[in-house]
Amino acid sequence: MNKYLLSFVIIALLPSLFLCAQTSRSQNLVYNPSFEEYRECPRKIDALGTLTIVDAWFQPTAGSADYFNVCGSRDCRVPRNKLGVQEPHSGQGYCGIYCSKTDYREYLQTQLKEPLREGELYRISFYVSLSEYSSGAVATIGALFTPDRVGDTVRSVLMCKELKQLAPNISQVVASYFEPQVVNSGQAITDTKGWTRITGTFVANGGERFLTIGNFFPASQSNVVDLDSLTYLLPGAYYYIDDVELTCLTCDTPKPVAADTLAPTASSVAQPVAQQPDADTLQVGATIILHNIFFDFDKAVLLQQSYNELQRLLEILQNYPKMRIEVRGHTDGHGSADYNQRLSENRAKAVVDYLVSKGIDAKRLQYKGYGKTLPIATNATEEGRARNRRVEFKILSR
């Protein structure tokens, strides 16, 4: 091939190659995310039925998820149907599930386009709307990612069941609650007119292939509320679901990234790799952000990915044996003040406990949670909220 023609071909392909790189990072990993593809129009609501007509989606339990479309029968029509009245968030269809004020549950499940990659940061989002026919509202609707398809024959809370060997000839099935990677843990979702977006980020363990949406918490932990605006025609909290999106935020980055997860609802976006502060920076009164601190959702247990950052802090304290610091925890503006205060304090304490376990004298350390009282950026954008979710330390003496 003529070398000038080859050069032209390469140059001409560069925009499309760049576009492909961008697409691989931002593409939605969920098939049929808006429930627009179906085998037939929905005809009835069956309390003992099985969700089979929506492409790529199914129900993992005996709780019967429902499908609604503008082409449906009177019971399953959009916007008015047997279980409520709602326009789609987009398109012409949506699904519906009981998230309940009792322990009756329904769920939606799908297989992802590809397994999630270990250590990568993902964002999940979907929209929910409470049916006005409900007899209450709940908060804890979330998204669970698992390597294998999970399910049961029950119509109650979906639980993780494991066969445990108690003795050489004795085994027992032990059930425990699933812990969704992303969950709305704040106020109950009460909007019956519009749609509420549930979203959050998380770091994948690797190999997760299935997404399940629903309420994985018992009624006593679901922040159940009763509302005068509801008609109480249904026995529980019924929610329409639409527009599910899962994207990888870091899959095209050349190096591993991390996330500050000091947040009441989900982990934050990636932060840059921190450099070791120099002597001029380490002055009394200085406050230094620890960018790459990881916690499980809604917990104060440090994840292994935090240890590189904590090692840097440990080296500082070892190099300056008289230094005293205050470890400070912060959250973004989501959630109640009391919730954020407790979470930020517990996570700051977790950092101190780690340092003490590595030989740092506890007398040199103190911790404090500031909740959402000291933002360093706007809470109106995801990027701003990510900056507000942070762990830092202040030098008290040197």
Per-residue pLDDT of the chain (398 residues; tens, 9 = 90+): 444 444 333 334 444 444 444 434 579 999 999 999 998 999 999 888 889 899 999 999 999 999 999 999 999 999 999 999 999 999 999 999 999 888 899 999 999 999 999 999 999 999 999 999 999 999 999 999 999 999 999 999 999 887 777 777 777 777 889 999 999 977 899 999 999 999 999 999 999 999 999 999 999 899 999 999 999 999 999 999 999 999 999 987 544 333 343 333 333 333 444 456 767 778 898 999 887 787 655 678 776 567 778 888 999 999 999 999 999 999 888 888 898 899 999 999 999 999 999 999 999 999 999 999 999 888 887 677 778 888 999 999 99
| Cα gap 391→118, rounded to integer Å | 24
**179 is a domain residue:** yes
CATH of the domain at 180: 2.60.120.260
Please, are residues 60 and 154 in contact by the beta-carbon 8 Å criterion?
A: no
Place of tokens 């004020």: 101
Helix pair 307-319, 337-357: axis angle to 10 deg:
60
Task: Specify the pLDDT at position 11.
Answer: 38
**235 belongs to a structural domain:** yes
Q: Examine the domain organization and report whether 38 and 185 are in the same domain.
A: yes
Q: Residue 38's pLDDT is what? A: 92
> What are the beta bridge partners of residue 201?
123, 267
This prediction has a pTM of 0.59
Q: Is residue 187 part of a domain?
A: yes
Tell me, yes or no, whether 176 and 283 share the same domain: no
Q: What pLDDT, on a 0 to 100 scale, did the predictor assign at position 232?
A: 95
- Could you give the CA distance from residue 11 to residue 398 in angstroms, rounded to a whole number? 57
User: Among the three residues 248, 281, 296, which one is the final residue of a domain in this structure?
Assistant: 248
Q: Is 277 found in the same domain as 392?
A: yes
Strands 287-290 and 365-369: unpaired
Let me know whether 81 and 212 are in one domain.
Answer: yes
How many structural domains does the chain have?
A: 2
209 exposure class (CB count in 10 Å sphere: 0-12, 13-18, 19+): middle
* Structural domain boundaries, residue 266: 258-397
Position 5 in a domain? no
Work out the number of other CB atoms within 10 angstroms of the CB of residue 280.
7
66: its two tokens:
């429902």
- Residue 15 inside a domain? The answer is no
Same domain, yes or no: 209 and 262: no
- Decide which of 230, 248, 266 is a domain's last residue: 248
Q: What span, in angstroms and rounded, lies between the C-alpha atoms of 93 and 72?
A: 9
The pairs formed by 273-278 with CB atoms below 8 angstroms and a separation of 24 or more are 274/309, 274/312, 276/312, 276/315, 276/316, 277/316
82: β partners: none
CATH (domain of 266): 3.30.1330.60
CA–CA dist 235, 50 (Å, integer) = 20
Residue 12 lies in a domain: no
